Structure 1
Amino acid sequence: MSQPDVPLVRVRGASLSYRGRRVVEGVDCVLDAGETLALLGPNGAGKSSLMRLVAGRLPPESGTVRIAGADPYRERAIRGGIGWVPQDIALYPRLSVAENLDVFAQLSGLTRRERPALVRAALDLADIADVARRPVGLLSGGYQRRVNIAASLMARPRLVLLDEPTQGVDLAARAAIHAVLARLRAEGAAILIASHDFAEVERLADRIAVMAGGRIVQEGRLSDLLARLHQGAPEHEVALVDLPDAAATAALRGAGFTPVDTGLTWRATHRGGPEGAALLSALRGHGVPVGEIRIRAPGVETLYRAALDPAPVDRGHPRIVARSPS
């Protein structure tokens, strides 16, 4: 049992190398019961490695990892109170959902008498009782991910670690998984989630930690970080109807815009300069295939990009100007 006012998870100066390369470097972080911390960062930033340290799957080369004051790598009982949900589906495809959960309950050390009630509770928590008797291999990807989460909960863990839990699922499955995580948090579980989905993070996280090169480069309470960001200029988002050619790309970059996805959306933070219809007209006048311009409050994606690129987010006046009518 953790002491009062002591975080459930405390990582201090943790470092780890893999195949001669440092993948976690001097990381400090804490996580309280009933709190969700989201890890953000590019591939190879160290998110999954940090989660393995917290899960007790690996020991840090230096520094410490403590769960309720104990070392999860050395103490098996502590690891038993951690629910680990890997990115890949780790289930038995020929067994039914309920049979899978029973197997994982048995692997968690639960007795035959305890298991039926805990299986029913996990089915209810993950809202998958309707498929309890179906083989996992016949389920959709979204249902399989919900079963994957349910399997990690058989020992009623106080800490749940999830690596990209909604990767490759549709919107309905994503909403269902988010509902499961909200129930876990409401029941007092601490949740550590690694995600590339900014909307997911904004919806679920109490705090975020942005990682790069094995280090945490920004960390804080999400509401506080967003509040400071919203004190600045709003973002202009340009939605294109076609990919821009070289001239249109130059015009967009000259106006301070950068691409944010497939190249059909460009975003900038401007203080001053042409607004709305004037900016739309100016960009079209330079051959940019603009469908619409949206004005939006900066969100998690802006925080993330600013953390990885320390250059100021506000780009000042756009260098493109509206042309006077002839």
Structure 2
Amino acid sequence: MSDPLVRIAVVDLDLRGRRVLEQIDLDLDAAETLALLGPNGAGKSSLMRLVAGRLAPSAGTVRVAGADPFREGRARRSIGWVPQEIALYPRLTVAENLGIFGQLAGVAWRDRRAAVAAALEMADIADVAQRPVGILSGGYRRRVNIAASLMNRPRLVLLDEPTSGVDLAARAAIHAVLDRLKAAGTAILIATHDFAEAERLASRVAFLAQGRIVREGRLADLLAQLRVGAPERELSLTVPADGTAEAVLRRAGFAPADPDGLTWRSVERSGLDGAALLGSLRAQGVPVAEVRVRAPRLETLYLDAIRPREVADRGASEPRRAGAAG
């Protein structure tokens, strides 16, 4: 069995005296897509910068194609880095931008024209090659940003929130670019807050909380581990719940999903099917209009992985009350 393209082993990262990442173990194979998910401040962007060679770990090792990306140029040359911020020259044309990024990536002058053409084709932006970047839509600029990372034909592409701030059509176009990269055998590491995007693109996911990976694996396998017949349930109420109804709902494991209290949602597993749950709540005086049953998806996995960690961290940080049991 061949070694993974990316290997992160027992990595810690300290920045400005604070532990940002702790005991990170993660592998990524060629032609595989891994999505990093977690709340703001969980360490996703820091982990991406470690893999890109922008940061050095405080402990442990990071290897890309067998080399240290922080210290060895051959490792960095195998990486395409797409930051969340658009890093382009607005007054230059798309082709001129790609030529400059090819030069920065070390592409020889004689090979640069072919590299620009290949990146334009992969990102499907040849139709705007001679337009200044500054007049393009946000979606096109993001595709140019991706194309700029492809000038050295990398084996690994890192993307930090690649569809942030774009409309649905642009999002679909960006996803098509990533599909073509996967088909060409490129490994992809993507940090995103978008569950639908992660499900659409990734074969594996890793959940980060407080600088640690709290769950990781193949998405299909993780979803299969959720108990069949105990999916997420969503309630729609005809009127805001009064005090009695609210107490019943909370005891049943539900929480309000909107400010008006018209919709309540739960990922608790009571074992009741939709019809039995509806009957039980109505019998207790809760004016439920319907119960919508949804199959477990990535959001359910995420909450299942992240919430226990957040609760534990809050408990550890709260002062104990006098008289509490030890």
Q: TM-score band (shorter)? A: 0.7 to 0.9
| Residues 1:177 and 2:162 are matched in the alignment | no
TM-score (norm 1): 0.86
| Residues 1:200 and 2:175 are matched in the alignment | no
- Please report how far the alpha carbon of residue 148 of structure 1 lies from its aligned counterpart in structure 2 after TM superposition: 0.7
- 2:53–2:76 CA contact under 8 A, matched in 1: yes
Amino acid corresponding to residue 258 of structure 1 in structure 2: A
Superposition pairs of residues 1-326 of structure 1, within 5 angstroms: 5-229=2-226, 231-239=228-236, 250-259=247-256, 266-273=265-272, 275-276=274-275, 279=278, 282=282, 286=286, 293-310=291-308
* Alpha-carbon spacing, 1:54–1:239, altered in 2? closer, same or farther (3 Å): farther
Amino acid corresponding to residue 305 of structure 2 in structure 1: A
2:133 and 2:25 map into 1 onto residues whose CA distance is: 38
Amino acid corresponding to residue 172 of structure 2 in structure 1: A
1:166 and 1:207 map into 2 onto residues whose CA distance is: 19
User: Hey, what does 1:322 align to over in structure 2?
Assistant: none
For residues 181-236 of structure 1, give each alpha carbon's deviation from its aligned partner in whole angstroms, at most 9, with x where no partner exists.
Answer: 11111111111111111111111111111111111111111111111115351221
- Please report how far the alpha carbon of residue 149 of structure 1 lies from its aligned counterpart in structure 2 after TM superposition: 0.7
- Please report how far the alpha carbon of residue 117 of structure 1 lies from its aligned counterpart in structure 2 after TM superposition: 1.4
1:112 and 1:80 map into 2 onto residues whose CA distance is: 16
For residues 45-65 of structure 1, give each alpha carbon's deviation from its aligned partner in whole angstroms, at most 9, with x where no partner exists.
Answer: 111111111111111111000
* Alpha-carbon spacing, 1:248–1:80, altered in 2? closer, same or farther (3 Å): farther
> What percent identity do the matched residue pairs reach?
65
For residues 156-190 of structure 1, give each alpha carbon's deviation from its aligned partner in whole angstroms, at most 9, with x where no partner exists.
Answer: 00011011111111111111111111111111111
More displaced stretch, 64-73 vs 279-288: 279-288
- Please report how far the alpha carbon of residue 294 of structure 1 lies from its aligned counterpart in structure 2 after TM superposition: 2.1
* Alpha-carbon spacing, 1:149–1:241, altered in 2? closer, same or farther (3 Å): farther
1:283 and 1:34 map into 2 onto residues whose CA distance is: 53
Amino acid corresponding to residue 75 of structure 1 in structure 2: E
For residues 212-266 of structure 1, give each alpha carbon's deviation from its aligned partner in whole angstroms, at most 9, with x where no partner exists.
Answer: 1111111111111111115351221235689877776545433322356777562
- 1:258–1:268 CA contact under 8 A, matched in 2: no
For residues 100-135 of structure 1, give each alpha carbon's deviation from its aligned partner in whole angstroms, at most 9, with x where no partner exists.
Answer: 111111111112221111111111111111221221
Amino acid corresponding to residue 300 of structure 1 in structure 2: L
1:149 and 1:239 map into 2 onto residues whose CA distance is: 42
* Alpha-carbon spacing, 1:126–1:32, altered in 2? closer, same or farther (3 Å): same
User: Hey, what does 2:317 align to over in structure 1?
Assistant: none
Q: How many pairs does the alignment contain?
A: 306
* Alpha-carbon spacing, 1:231–1:74, altered in 2? closer, same or farther (3 Å): same
1:234 and 1:68 map into 2 onto residues whose CA distance is: 40
2:83 and 2:40 map into 1 onto residues whose CA distance is: 15
Amino acid corresponding to residue 150 of structure 1 in structure 2: A
Query: The residue matched to 1:14 in structure 2 has which SS?
Result: strand
More displaced stretch, 66-75 vs 279-288: 279-288
For residues 294-324 of structure 1, give each alpha carbon's deviation from its aligned partner in whole angstroms, at most 9, with x where no partner exists.
Answer: 211101111111111249xxxxxxxxxxxxx
Query: The residue matched to 1:16 in structure 2 has which SS?
Result: strand
1:76 and 1:98 map into 2 onto residues whose CA distance is: 25
1:227 and 1:244 map into 2 onto residues whose CA distance is: 34
Amino acid corresponding to residue 162 of structure 1 in structure 2: L
Query: The residue matched to 1:192 in structure 2 has which SS?
Result: strand
